[in-house]
Amino acid sequence: MRFSDLDGRRVVVWGAGREGSSVTEHLRARGVTVVVAEPDRPRPESPVVAGVAYAAEGRAELLAADVVVKSPGVPATHPLLAEVRSARVPVTSLTDLWVSEHAHRVVAVTGTKGKSTTASLLHHLLLAAGIRSSLRGNIGTSVLEESDPPAEVVVMELSSYQAQSLTRSPRVVAVTSLFPEHLTWHGSLEAYYRDKLNAVAHAPEVVVVPAEASEVVRRVRERLGPGTQLLLTDESDVHVDAAGDVVWPDGTRVAAADLPLPGRHHAGNIALALRLAGLHGVAPADLVHALRDFAPLPHRMEPVPSGDGRRWIDDSLATAPEAVVASLSALAGERVAVVVGGEDRGLDLTPLTTHLRAHPELTPLLIGPAGARIAQEQPDLAARHFDTFAEAVAWAGSSANPADVVLLSPGAPSYDEFNDYTERSAAFRAAARAAT
């Protein structure tokens, strides 16, 4: 659905948060009649936002709408959403409206993990090549924030929440990885995969997938139409070789040690970004030059200053078990004390516990409800269980810790003790500085 499809129709925006407010302002500027609904919030004595329909009134507005524009904060499992669809009210989103009108210049990066790094690196590579690029979407910049002159290429980080509503795919889509995440919002693992891969289901020209991710390749193939070209980061173009180096068929090579982020999983995301940049005519030599200047995003295997001579690494955004395994694999052979745990979302922790059992040089420091579940389900696992995050990192910085590396790679969100992952990272950094 396009913005122009809303002209002359009664539109209800579901959600008065940052995205809901921005799309409301944009639509009203276009002359569209808009009501904002917050059906999950009781009417306050003094309205927080003027013109918002709360509670029962908000529900009635949604069911009577010509079109509902849903905010990402409304889960796909919301019972009122089923009611709205049963009433045959079309449901769209800001992402769907904008992409439907601008798909020709959008390169979207989606996936469970790795999408922020891949999208940011692609944006950096395009700018270095003199291509007007804009970085938008889930990474924090609204799609409505147009540059002047307009970007030739809009690199969009696309979350599963955003992909779920698309009725038109971007011209190019990259899928970095797939494993369980956000199951409460989507309702089930299969629903999560379906919603995530909706990004490739509506006639993109090109889809790019890491060749090593065989399950991702299989699931993507199942969703593609006959007019879409599927490209892999394999020996036909830029790819990651057995040594972890990034190489091109012409012999151009970047050694694993010279990549801006450690680990084969990061090398795969780097190769994906390089492949996408190559689609825009950027030569391998120019890509290698630009890669040297890329500053990795924070909280992704980020070294932090410490006072005890150990290497402290902030990988706080590794909030799924598979992501922790990938990060630990990047430190293979080293003695690592890894802080694991936090809010328990009920994910299968077997990939992580299997890896920990196979590597006795690792010292798991278990925290929070997720850590407690590991301790309960794996009572004979050689691990230390702490009541708080502060106790775990204090021990990590003490003489009792035999490890050379302290890694925060929790495999779980931070909300059991912290407001968000940045607050957890700040506590980790403070502990690193205090260690002696």
In a 3-state reduction of DSSP, which class is residue 283? coil
Q: What per-residue confidence (pLDDT) applies to 358?
A: 96
Asked if residue 218 has pLDDT above 70, the reply is yes
Mean pLDDT of 267-280: 98
Q: Are 349 and 370 a contacting pair, CB within 8 Å? A: yes
pLDDT tens-digit series, residues 183-210: 999 999 999 999 999 999 999 999 999 9
Q: Are 73 and 17 a contacting pair, CB within 8 Å? A: yes
Which residues touch 356 (CB under 8 Å, ≥6 apart)? 362, 364, 381, 383
Asked if residue 51 has pLDDT above 90, the reply is no
φ, ψ dihedrals at 287, nearest 5°: -65, -40
Mean pLDDT of 378-397: 97
CB atoms within 10 A of CB 50: 6
388 is in an annotated binding site: no
Please tell me what DSSP assigns to residue 174: E
Q: Are 238 and 276 a contacting pair, CB within 8 Å? A: no
- 253 or 51, which is more confident: 253
Closest by CA to 92, choosing from 110, 116, 74, 118, is 74
113 is in an annotated binding site: yes
Whether the link from the prior residue into 149 is cis, omega within 30° of 0, is yes
pLDDT tens-digit series, residues 72-110: 999 999 999 999 999 999 999 999 999 999 999 999 999
Alpha-carbon torsion, ordered 97, 101, 103, 106, to 10 deg: -80
Q: Are 105 and 152 a contacting pair, CB within 8 Å? A: yes
Asked if residue 307 has pLDDT above 90, the reply is yes
Mean pLDDT of 228-239: 98
Q: How confident is the model at residue 43 (pLDDT cuts 50, 70, 90)?
A: confident
Give the percent of the chain with pLDDT over 70.
Answer: 99
Mean pLDDT of 334-350: 96
Asked if residue 48 has pLDDT above 70, the reply is no
196 is in an annotated binding site: no
Q: How confident is the model at residue 46 (pLDDT cuts 50, 70, 90)?
A: low
Which residues touch 141 (CB under 8 Å, ≥6 apart)? 134, 135
Q: What per-residue confidence (pLDDT) applies to 44?
A: 84
Distance from C-alpha of 173 to C-alpha of 216, rounded to nearest angstrom: 13
Average pLDDT, the chain: 96
188 is in an annotated binding site: no
Q: What per-residue confidence (pLDDT) applies to 47?
A: 58
Please tell me what DSSP assigns to residue 134: E
120 is in an annotated binding site: no
Edge-first strand listing for the sheet containing 239-240: 239-240, 246-247, 253-254
Q: What per-residue confidence (pLDDT) applies to 147?
A: 86
Asked if residue 49 has pLDDT above 90, the reply is no
The neighbouring-strand residues paired with 314 are 302, 408
Q: What per-residue confidence (pLDDT) applies to 436?
A: 85
Q: What per-residue confidence (pLDDT) applies to 115?
A: 97
Name all domains of the chain by residue range, CATH numbers in brackets. 3-92 (3.40.50.720), 96-291 (3.40.1190.10), 302-434 (3.90.190.20)
The neighbouring-strand residues paired with 400 are none
Q: How confident is the model at residue 45 (pLDDT cuts 50, 70, 90)?
A: confident
